[in-house]
Structure 1
Amino acid sequence: MTKVNGELRQWEGTIMIRLGCVILSIASGLAAKAVAADFDPAKLEQIVSSSAEKYVEAFQERDSKKLAALFTEAAVYIDGDGAVFHGREAIQAEYEAYFESASKGELKLELTVIRPIADNVIIEEGVSEFLPEDDGPVSLTRYAATHVQQKDGEWLIAGVRELAPAEMTNHERLKALQWLIGSWNEEVPGRVITTEWTWSADGSYLIARFSMMTEDGTGRAGTHRVGWDAQRKQFRSWVFDAEGSFAEGTWADRDGGWEITLAATLASGESATGVLRYERDGEDAMIVSQLRRVAGGESVPDTETRVV
């Protein structure tokens, strides 16, 4: 298996590890840079993602009381028609009325912006997607929510405003990953990898140009493009290196991190697969895990690296 292992080491250096230098874990997906001194991006993501998970869980259970409990006593909810529901009781009553008449279905929340405006106030923006169990149309609604920390430390929703329903552009969806833009450097045993991320000219993709230099002076380079797949409703990656290897992957938000399932064809013609997992670690670093890798039918041990 010497040939396979050699190709695998090259693949790890230019595709798997390269991706590991640059891809976000967004709690759930996503976050803007923190401007409040007391919060780093990972903490902000945890707060808002936890609230979103509780909201979706209560909504799926059609539990209006549990939903209302996520709001402050004096919260304000403004729906897409401009109707205002003031206070927790009014919000609960509105949910009860909605569940009595609305079809059952699946709710998904896609967080696009998480922005602190004070030490105890966070603004969340996103898109809600409702897929009815029957054959009714899918509903997409933009929204903005304000989270306020209570005296006991709990975070509750102080306000929600539904905005005009609209499909997000690819650029708007990719804003969840725009923290990637800039230079990244990674030093791992035997090699140094540098990556520069930019927007594509039309703003529909994020593009990385990466290079690797080994300790014996050997260099390799390649590109990595990330876009939105409107059919699959998920991010996709396309990676190419100068030696002829290439990989394609799909993204999934799991357990507070992003996992990218990759399938590669090496320059030798061998196939390789693997999963990359990214969890953000503070404002300027992330934890990169390489999981379930197989090349030429041979398993490769998992790894975990902190990248800055």
Structure 2
Amino acid sequence: MKTPTAIASLLLLAAIPAVAQDKSAAAPAPAAAAAVSPELAAARETAAAYVAAYNKGDAAAVAALFAVDAEWISNEGVQTSGRAAIEALLKSVFADSKGRTIALGIEAARRITDDVFSVRGEATVSDPDGSSAVNEFTAVHVKRDGKWAITEFTELDDESAPSPATFLQDLAWFAGSWKSTEPDGMKCTVEWSPSGSFLTRTFSIPGAEGDEAREGTEIIGWDAEQEQIRSWVFESDGSFTERTWTPDGDRWLVLSRTVLPDGEVGSEEITVSKVDDDKVSWSIASRSLGGETLPNIGPVTIVRDK
């Protein structure tokens, strides 16, 4: 098993601004450089603190930057769940790797919403015998109680990009048949594509009195360029929707934009919460259509159709 090197770089990410780009986060700014933003200055200060903590073998200080329910996936696909488990993993690494040091680099940080951003970077770990290893990684951060917390971290393989299915594992529980507990009679089925690279959701909604029945298909996949789970919905009336999915603990924040058959455009923010393995709650806010504000919807519950 490869040593989980990139996990060590995550402390840096907690203070990175949503649109900052920096290749040498742990290094001081050159004297002749342009004025540094307060956010980037904070990121560099945090990076320096992280390097010091890692090189002292302080697993607790590193783990404190993760959310309590954070997920970390190694470049071999091994998943570690929760801050406590991540701290235990780091303690094991430090115990087996005396004298190891780390250098950090951030390739890009991208704002998703005011409270969410993603980061791509690399960590270079050097051992006393002169050998070193470099791992790239991606991470998602969510602001909770006024502080940034790492909620999802994926270490990338040095030689090849990870399978798209790797990034969809947090939605694997969604596979199966579901039905609404509301009178609308909505039913849907979520299945993996034959290759395992996408999730496909087919749904149907019987028409209420005076309304036509609706059905459609949603394809959920990983966008490697945007480093984001995205989906595309195609409905029987000719409308289509684009969505982005961002994890936040046991819920997902889904930004949605729809184009109706007549060209009118609508948008909304959907919150999908996993209640348990057989129950999901969702609600819709910030709804608009053609520039007009619409009322919120939900929460609505769907249950597994056994």
Question: Which TM class, normalised by the smaller chain length?
Answer: 0.5 to 0.7
Structure 2 letter corresponding to 1:203: G
With structure 2 as the length reference, what TM-score do the two structures score? Answer: 0.54
> Is the CA contact 1:272–1:296 (under 8 Å) kept in the aligned structure 2?
yes
The counterpart of 2:94, out of the listed 91, 95, 101, is: 91
Q: Percent identity?
A: 26
> Is the CA contact 1:129–1:138 (under 8 Å) kept in the aligned structure 2?
no
Could you tell me how far apart the structure 2 residues matched to 1:179 and 1:96 are?
41
Could you tell me how far apart the structure 2 residues matched to 1:307 and 1:241 are?
20
Aligned twin of 1:264: 258
RMSD, aligned α-carbons: 4.2
Structure 1 residues without counterparts, runs of 5 or longer: 1-52, 72-78, 81-85, 109-127, 143-161
Change (3 A) 1:233 1:291: same
Q: CA deviation at 1:291?
A: 1.6
Could you tell me how far apart the structure 2 residues matched to 1:200 and 1:90 are?
37
The counterpart of 2:135, out of the listed 133, 136, 139, is: 139
The counterpart of 1:67, out of the listed 54, 59, 71, is: 59
* 1:196 partner SS: strand
Aligned twin of 2:302: 307
With structure 1 as the length reference, what TM-score do the two structures score? Answer: 0.53
Larger RCO, structures 1/2 (Cα 8 Å, 6+ apart): 1
* 2:194 partner SS: coil
Deviation digits for residues 247-295 of structure 1 (CA, Å, limit 9, x no counterpart): 0111222365211111110122210011111121122112212121111
Could you tell me how far apart the structure 1 residues matched to 2:169 and 2:92 are?
35
Deviation digits for residues 132-177 of structure 1 (CA, Å, limit 9, x no counterpart): 69xxx983479xxxxxxxxxxxxxxxxxxx9964521112322332
Q: Does 1:182 align with 2:176?
A: yes
Structure 2 letter corresponding to 1:194: K
> Is the CA contact 1:107–1:131 (under 8 Å) kept in the aligned structure 2?
no
Structure 2 residues without counterparts, runs of 5 or longer: 1-6, 14-46, 65-74, 77-88, 110-118, 125-132, 139-154
Q: Does 1:242 align with 2:236?
A: yes
> Is the CA contact 1:220–1:241 (under 8 Å) kept in the aligned structure 2?
yes
1:212-251 aligned within 5 A = 212-216=205-209, 218-251=212-245
**How many aligned residue pairs are there?**
201
The counterpart of 1:194, out of the listed 165, 184, 187, is: 187
Q: Which has the higher helix share?
A: 1
Could you tell me how far apart the structure 1 residues matched to 2:96 and 2:197 are?
41
Could you tell me how far apart the structure 2 residues matched to 1:68 and 1:107 are?
26
Single out whichever of 296-305 and 213-222 deviates more from structure 2: 213-222
